[in-house]
């Protein structure tokens, strides 16, 4: 069977299952940075910023005042950003243009959807899965997000639950009252996308395990457990995150810990990921660099960006990710060293054949990616600022993902400051830029 017929089989199967369910195309994004005329009066920037959102710019629904101060410095007299900026968040239970609008309202400037990287945004690069029948897990607009990323054949946990009502049995009140008829026309699931933490964890955990153990056919009875199992793409590995509450909340990383451990306990084997996406993975930073370069082109800045400054509140995702990318940049010219870095996290090269439609654009041209830790979120939100950044590592337990090796040097920030306003001041000082 050729690739074309495989594609049409998946598409037809999902369409059969979804008869009568129309899908509306996503709304057109508002005009972002594209089309903005050049005309800044100062010298063109050779550096850019990656800002985390939660714990750096906002805390839940509240804007951190330092963020508004910082952006008053970042906006020039022409009302445009003086340097390229990308917002990189591991949040994923929303749409990119909605997050851009939230940031616009919070910061008092027009943030384009093309400046926002959600945890799942790099899924656009994984086009070898775009025609396959993918099960999506998470909450919020996961189906729409999957389609926006290019996936054409998507089924949800709710679809599986509806098709196979005897599988979800933990909540006694949700068990079927009568024996339902057998489902025979549900499409074979060929891969799973874990977007973010779902609600009703017991339902998602049970059904995802069922799909893995049944090789994508949860209605079937199998003699042996298939291994390797069907591919899993997981976004957002954050174990914890910080909202309005005093203590950190469960993140998607906690859900992944549950899934990995259940799978291992049941099968005796390791759950494997085709890809881990979102901070601190390399592919997310490559995608950020790609978007920064696009901004530079659109603004007509004649310079190229040599240095990135990544501002975040989470040592295990923001700082680890920025430092890890910095080590990747340093190793970029040495094929052997690159391979070693990628091997250390069990990651395939996202620029390799089949991984990326943007492969030619994901070349590394940076000199460095420096990490700046702020104290307005997960890290030391009640504590003092350490004067020595080497004293900033207070993590005694590794909160990173199972497949990322703990390296204490990677969670040491290049700089530690009180808040994002101080971070911008620090960078402008280092780059000899005026604070106005
Ligand atoms: Mg954060």
Residue 23 resides in a domain? no
- For residue 19, tell me if it sits in a domain: no
Which of 277, 308, 328 is the endpoint of a domain? Answer: 277
| 127 and 261 co-located in one domain | yes
The reported pLDDT for the residue numbered 26 is: 34
Q: How far apart are CA 44 and CA 375, in angstroms?
A: 30
Q: How far apart are CA 98 and CA 105, in angstroms?
A: 11
Tell me which of 237, 257, 277 is where a domain ends: 277
State the distance from the centre of ligand 1 to the C-alpha of 44, rounded, in angstroms: 29
Residues 350 and 218 in one domain: no
Whether 96 and 197 map to the same domain: the answer is no
Interaxial angle between packed helices 320-331 and 282-299, expressed in degrees from 0 to 180 and rounded to the nearest 10: 80
Structural domain tally of the chain?
Answer: 2
Q: What is the CATH number of the domain that holds 321?
A: 3.40.50.1000
CB atoms within 10 A of CB 109: 17
Which pLDDT score, from 0 to 100, does residue 242 have? 72
Within 13 Å and on the Cβ side, how many CA atoms surround 355? 18
37 part of a folded domain: no
Classify strands 275-277 and 240-241 as parallel, antiparallel or unpaired.
unpaired
- Rounded Cα gap, residues 218 and 212, in angstroms: 8
Task: Identify which has the larger pLDDT, 14 or 274.
Answer: 274
Residue 54 lies in a domain: yes
Phi and psi at 351, nearest 5°, equal: -90, -5
Q: Is residue 227 part of a domain?
A: yes
pLDDT tens digit sequence for 194-217: 999 999 999 999 999 999 999 999
Residue 313 Cα to ligand 1 middle (Å): 5
CA of 58 to the centre of ligand 1 (A): 9
pLDDT of residue 223: 78
Q: Are residues 273 and 291 in the same domain?
A: no
In a domain, residue 35? The reply is no
Q: What number is the average pLDDT over the span 352-374? A: 69
Which of 98-112, 126-140, 170-184 bottoms out in mean pLDDT, i.e. has the lowest? Answer: 170-184
What value does the mean pLDDT take over residues 292-309?
Answer: 94
Q: What is the distance in A from the centroid of ligand 1 to the CA of 377?
A: 6
Ligand 1 mean position, distance from CA 347 (Å): 24
Q: What percent of the chain has pLDDT over 90?
A: 62
Domain that holds residue 342: 47-120+280-430
Q: Does residue 4 carry a pLDDT above 50?
A: no
Distance 321 CA to ligand 1 centre (A): 12
Hey, CA dihedral for 140, 347, 206, 211, is it positive or negative? Answer: positive
Residues 324, 351, single domain; the answer is: yes
Ligand 1 centroid, distance to 242 Cα (angstroms) = 7
| Residues 220 and 334 placed together within one structural domain of the fold | no
pLDDT score, position 241: 81
Distance CA 292, CA 47 (A): 10
Residue 159 alpha carbon to ligand 1 centre in Å: 32
222 and 311 belong to one structural domain = no
Same domain, 9 and 104: no
Of 331, 357, 426, 417, residue with least CA distance to 64: 417
Q: How far away, in angstroms, is 272 Cα from ligand 1 center? A: 26
User: What is the whole-number distance in angstroms between the Cα of residue 80 and the centre of ligand 1?
Assistant: 25
Q: Vertex 58, ends 301 and 67: CA angle to 5°? A: 50
User: How far is the centre of ligand 1, averaged over its atoms, from the C-alpha of 249 (Å)?
Assistant: 12
Q: Single out the residue in 232, 260, 277 at which a domain terminates.
A: 277
Q: Is residue 39 in a domain?
A: no
286 and 407 together in one domain: yes
Same domain, 260 and 192: yes
User: What percent of the chain stands above pLDDT 70?
Assistant: 79
- Regarding whether 181 and 85 lie in a shared domain, the answer is no
Q: Is residue 226 located within the same domain as residue 372?
A: no
**pLDDT tens digits for range 327-341:** 999 887 665 455 555
- Pick the closest to residue 230 from 135, 331, 94 (CA basis): 135
Give me the chain's average pLDDT, please: 84
How many whole angstroms from 227 Cα to the centroid of ligand 1? 36
pLDDT at 351 over 60: no
Q: Is residue 292 part of a domain?
A: yes
Q: Is the dihedral of CA 120, 306, 433, 414 positive or negative?
A: positive
Cα→Cα distances 344→11, 34, 88, 101, 119, Å: 36, 38, 23, 37, 21
CA 388–ligand 1 middle distance (angstroms): 22
Q: Tell me what pLDDT residue 22 has.
A: 36
């Amino acid at each position: 069977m050729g690739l074309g017929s495989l594609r049409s089989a998946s598409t037809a199967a999902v369409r059969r299952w979804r008869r009568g369910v129309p899908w509306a195309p996503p709304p057109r994004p508002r005009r972002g940075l594209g089309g903005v005329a050049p005309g800044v009066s100062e010298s063109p920037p050779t550096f850019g910023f990656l800002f985390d959102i939660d714990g750096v710019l906002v805390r839940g629904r509240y804007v951190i005042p330092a963020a508004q101060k910082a952006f008053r410095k970042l906006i020039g007299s022409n009302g445009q950003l003086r340097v390229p900026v990308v917002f990189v968040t591991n949040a994923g239970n929303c749409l990119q243009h909605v997050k851009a609008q939230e940031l616009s309202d919070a910061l008092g400037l027009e943030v384009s959807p093309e400046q926002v990287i959600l945890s799942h945004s790099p899924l656009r690069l994984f086009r070898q899965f775009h025609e396959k029948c993918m099960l999506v897990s998470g909450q919020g607009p996961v189906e729409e997000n999957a389609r926006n990323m290019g996936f054409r054949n998507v089924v949800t946990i709710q679809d599986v639950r509806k098709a196979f009502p005897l599988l979800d049995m933990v909540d006694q009140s949700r068990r079927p009252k009568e024996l339902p008829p057998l489902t025979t026309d549900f499409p074979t699931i060929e891969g799973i996308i874990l977007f973010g933490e779902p609600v009703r964890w017991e339902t998602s955990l049970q059904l995802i395990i069922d799909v893995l153990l049944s090789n994508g056919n949860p209605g079937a009875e199998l003699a042996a457990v298939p291994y390797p199992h069907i591919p899993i793409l997981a976004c957002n590995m954050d174990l914890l995150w910080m909202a309005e509450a005093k203590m950190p909340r469960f993140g998607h990383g906690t859900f992944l810990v549950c899934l990995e451990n259940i799978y291992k306990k049941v099968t005796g084997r390791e759950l494997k990921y085709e890809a881990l996406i979102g901070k601190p993975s390399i592919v997310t930073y490559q995608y950020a660099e790609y978007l920064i370069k696009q901004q530079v082109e659109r603004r007509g800045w004649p310079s190229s960006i040599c240095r990135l400054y990544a501002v975040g509140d989470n040592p295990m995702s923001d700082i680890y990710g920025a430092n890890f990318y910095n080590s990747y940049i340093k190793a970029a010219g040495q094929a052997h060293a690159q391979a070693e870095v990628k091997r250390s996290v069990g990651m395939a090269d996202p620029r390799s054949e089949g991984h990326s439609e943007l492969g030619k654009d994901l070349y590394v041209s940076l000199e460095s990616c420096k990490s700046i830790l702020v104290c307005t979120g997960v890290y030391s939100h009640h504590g003092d600022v350490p004067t020595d950044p080497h004293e900033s590592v207070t993590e005694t337990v590794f909160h990173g993902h199972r497949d990322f090796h703990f390296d204490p040097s990677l969670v040491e920030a290049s700089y530690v400051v009180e808040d994002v306003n101080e971070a911008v001041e620090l960078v402008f000082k280092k780059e000899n830029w005026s604070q106005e």
